Amino acid sequence: MINAAKADGQIDEEEIQRIVGKLQEAGADAEDQRYVLTQMQKPMETEDLISAVKGWPELAAHVYAASLMAIEVDTQAEKAYLGQLASGLGLTQEVTGKIEQMVGL
């Protein structure tokens, strides 16, 4: 989610609120939320994320879905990030299309 929010070069207030809201829904405490907010200040780590998830198709789908839920895909940079993520994770267009439908895009 954090990487997706960074994709267009800035994390806007709506993206921050969306991520914090998802954390709260998941039961994250204040310390967890502070950790995530700190991570938002760091550079993107797309290749590290892809490497960590590679070989875990179900987890790859969850990572892609979380990225979609973190942002409003309204810039070319965000679209490029999602394309890079899907490709790196080995997700087909069919799979990404189904994930996009599931999250309401």
- 18-64 pLDDT tens trace: 888 888 998 999 998 888 888 888 888 899 999 999 889 999 999 99
What is the pLDDT, as a whole number, of residue 88? 95
What is the pLDDT, as a whole number, of residue 5? 80
What is the pLDDT, as a whole number, of residue 19? 83
What does pTM read for this prediction?
A: 0.75
What is the average pLDDT score of the chain? 89
What is the pLDDT, as a whole number, of residue 93? 95
Packing angle between helix 13-25 and helix 30-39, nearest 10 degrees?
140
Packing angle between helix 76-89 and helix 46-53, nearest 10 degrees?
30
What is the pLDDT, as a whole number, of residue 65? 94
